[in-house]
Amino acid sequence: MKDQFYVIILLFVYRLLWGYCLYRLISSIVVPLLLRYPDPAPHELSRLLYFFEGELALTRGGLLSGAVWMLILLAAVHILLTPCIRAGMMYHLHREAEGERGLFLFQGMRKLWKPLTLFYILELILLGLPLYWLLPEALPSFIEAARHPQALLQPGLWVLGWLLYVWIIRLALLYMQFGYTSGTGTPSALLLFLRRLGSALPLSLLIGGLALLSSLLIGGMSLWWSGLIGLLLQQASYFLKSLFQVWGMASQYHVFKSSSTK
């Protein structure tokens, strides 16, 4: 981790900028609507007029369509940047494993962004395919749960199954990317992952659990100490997320490298 600390700092800055862009987008929609809320306290007619005016602003005023296009643009930028960052991190790990020291992040982005973008698109397709069948089956149950909460049991089990599927697929593709970028090949890396499930899954579960626990603690403290302290704690969560992301990838790479060497 100490050898990749600058990567953590760069990821922290990236997350800060990403969070700021999302904040500005949501603020540009929500704040103008809230400022038009009647003051003093409204009676029933003024409240209905307020909601009717807000609905018109969202549907016919172009406010909603502009926000949707901005979200699509941000999603496209995120899809382009995510595999680039992953490429730089993997290249950095490979160079360090060979005994080299230096700033390899941007060099790796330039060399490996194309194949890892294809891997990322494949990941999105594999993760989204089950939703094609899951959403039509689960949506009526979610609607019914508004009146009968017990209706959430069956779709809840489906969601848990999908999350387990997402976890396994992401880990498998991570090892395949390790194999591709190191030159050992994706099939052999996938077989290695299957052989080392007993190490890869508990390690991922441990680091993921620590990341979730830290996020819950910081989120709770930021709500408890609202104001400047809460804001600083919330920004610190970006650093912890970046740290756990690098830690998770580096630990899985250690499993991959030690196993492939043997």
Domain boundaries, the chain: 1-261
Tokens describing residue 157? 């089990």
Q: Which pLDDT value is given to residue 247?
A: 93
Angle between helices 153-182 and 186-195 (to 10 degrees): 130
pTM of the model: 0.82
**Residue pLDDT tens, the chain, 262 long:** 777 788 888 889 988 888 888 888 888 777 777 777 766 665 667 777 777 777 776 666 566 677 778 888 888 888 888 899 999 999 988 888 887 877 788 888 998 989 999 999 999 999 989 888 888 877 777 666 666 666 677 777 888 889 999 999 999 999 999 999 988 889 999 999 999 999 999 999 999 999 999 988 988 887 888 777 777 788 888 899 999 999 999 999 999 988 876 6
Residue type, 11: L
Q: Which pLDDT value is given to residue 18?
A: 85
| Residue reference for tokens 């990317």 | 177
Q: Which pLDDT value is given to residue 236?
A: 82
Q: Which pLDDT value is given to residue 212?
A: 92
Q: Which pLDDT value is given to residue 73?
A: 86
Q: Which pLDDT value is given to residue 148?
A: 67
**Is the CB of residue 83 less than 8 Å from the CB of residue 141?**
no
Q: What is the C-alpha separation between 102 and 97, in angstroms, rounded?
A: 12
